[in-house]
Structure 1
């Protein structure tokens, strides 16, 4: 392997995590994001990087444009998606800097990714590239092919719409973990009163089976309805002699739970928490979206 090839590979690998982060937040799909990174790499192999003023800027530009192009087809696929669509889970890559970790966690939350789905592709790109990846509006203008002022307006409009959808209060990882554990324990024990205590009155349950496994077709709302639904699920496990194991694991920036049925991974469950209650539950059951997790307990 030549020195030039070594350097080319090193530069790309130094930026791989950033590129995957951009593509994942743009698309909400880890498999598609990795395809975008691979396409970026193939283009990178053909360019004379020694002539580039900033190889990192070139990589981010190509990756962002490729993700934008893919987002158009992804949105079309989601219009045909069976049932509720949820982002593919993103396993945490822990930072050594606690303050940076909090910021990173917030930018891959399911709540944020769902809020981003309501934006136009240019709004989504401008918001992410500026607010998450700290690019200047001049750099974003070059990527999107728009003026600085237009990109600033896109980011401002996107930021306002995102803030309308996101929780106003943050919770600590310890509080999040405590509520998640209390919820799953009460569900397993069939304790309706305890479940109602940890759920907000207007709690919403999102369930994504992708038409491949059993899942709720629509969003289930209300503490009583959601509590009774989970009690019925664990009661059915008991009636059918299905052995259930759970594993706590961080993904999308917060503690989550993997639920195994007879040793096989069936569900990745995570929650939104604020004001000491659970406000949203996200149950990802589509097997195509669970491939990054341990398949067996």
Structure 2
């Protein structure tokens, strides 16, 4: 390990560790807690015996994330309304210049994929994240999970099949998504229901996550008529209930998203999925517990 300090080595690998933990848990705070626990393990370890720090740290982080996931499953089961992952800033920057690699990373952290991952077992989720998002070899994943390689391949096959069945069956063009988002916001702000309906696919679905702590649908809304009327009504209530309404575009979970601020405070995150010029899915996160990291 040459002369690098324990802190230097850990900080070098922190982005990967946080990426693994977040994809496993879907919560920024939980992921940060797991990474902090990994640091405590690392700082107390006999590092002279560690030949590959990255593999060691990923192994520790993954096992801690599995333990945390098992502990929080009851919390997820009693969650009020639909559950969405906590929005996560994903400006990959110049360290990931390759278009294909960026697309893979963005897809693995997308809201749609993370929602599907919620239905996997902790071990299936770990295998999928390590293999599909970070490209770890099966042999290394087997060591990480203390399982045989054949068992890991079976877990990977089941997880991949499940995710493929649940993820969107189309590619979202970033420029098209941005354009539709801007037009959607303009129509909602103007109360233009007809204009809004023209942007929505007939089978559009709106998923709102409030955790019972903010105003949002407690069930998934389906059909353009229901989604359009809800959005127009919500926009009117928002405009009448706050003195100052503003929004900012940010790259969250690998896609352009809108962060709404009411009177200077983060109120919600809005993101759409679109294909062929129509919005297929609308995601809205309003649970204040999931907006803390953005407020920071």
TM-score band by shorter chain is: over 0.9
The aligned counterpart of 2:116 is 115
The aligned counterpart of 1:26 is 24
The aligned counterpart of 1:81 is 79
Verify: 1:212 aligned to 2:213, yes or no. Answer: yes
Contact map agreement 1:95 1:101 (CA 8 A) in 2: no
**TM-score normalised by length of structure 2:** 0.94
Verify: 1:12 aligned to 2:6, yes or no. Answer: no
In 2: Cα distance, 1:214 partner to 1:164 partner: 31
Q: What's the CA shift for 1:238?
A: 4.1
Q: What's the CA shift for 1:281?
A: 1.1
Contact map agreement 2:91 2:251 (CA 8 A) in 1: no
Verify: 1:155 aligned to 2:153, yes or no. Answer: no
SS in 1 for 2:208: strand
Q: Structure 1 regions of 5+ residues with no counterpart? A: none
Moved more, 56-65 or 198-207: 198-207
SS in 2 for 1:272: strand
Contact map agreement 2:265 2:295 (CA 8 A) in 1: no
Superposed CA RMSD in Å reads 1.6
| Aligned counterpart in structure 1 of residue 55 of structure 2, from 51, 54, 57 | 57
Verify: 1:225 aligned to 2:226, yes or no. Answer: yes
SS in 1 for 2:5: helix
Q: What's the CA shift for 1:241?
A: 5.9
- Which whole-Å deviations, capped at 9, do the CAs of 1:53-88 have from their partners, x for residues lacking one? 211111010000000111111221111112221101
In 1: Cα distance, 2:54 partner to 2:242 partner: 54
Contact map agreement 1:237 1:243 (CA 8 A) in 2: no
In 1: Cα distance, 2:65 partner to 2:57 partner: 12
Off by >3 Å, runs of 4+ in structure 1: 237-243
SS in 2 for 1:202: strand
Q: What's the CA shift for 1:246?
A: 1.5
Verify: 1:279 aligned to 2:280, yes or no. Answer: yes
The aligned counterpart of 1:66 is 64
Q: Structure 2 regions of 5+ residues with no counterpart? A: none
The aligned counterpart of 1:43 is 41
Q: What's the CA shift for 1:276?
A: 2.4
Note closer, same or farther for the CA distance 1:115–1:170 as it changes in structure 2 (3 Å cut): same
The aligned counterpart of 2:204 is 203
Note closer, same or farther for the CA distance 1:30–1:240 as it changes in structure 2 (3 Å cut): closer
Q: What's the CA shift for 1:242?
A: 4.3
Moved more, 97-106 or 81-90: 97-106
Moved more, 61-70 or 198-207: 198-207
In 1: Cα distance, 2:242 partner to 2:48 partner: 63
**TM-score normalised by length of structure 1:** 0.94
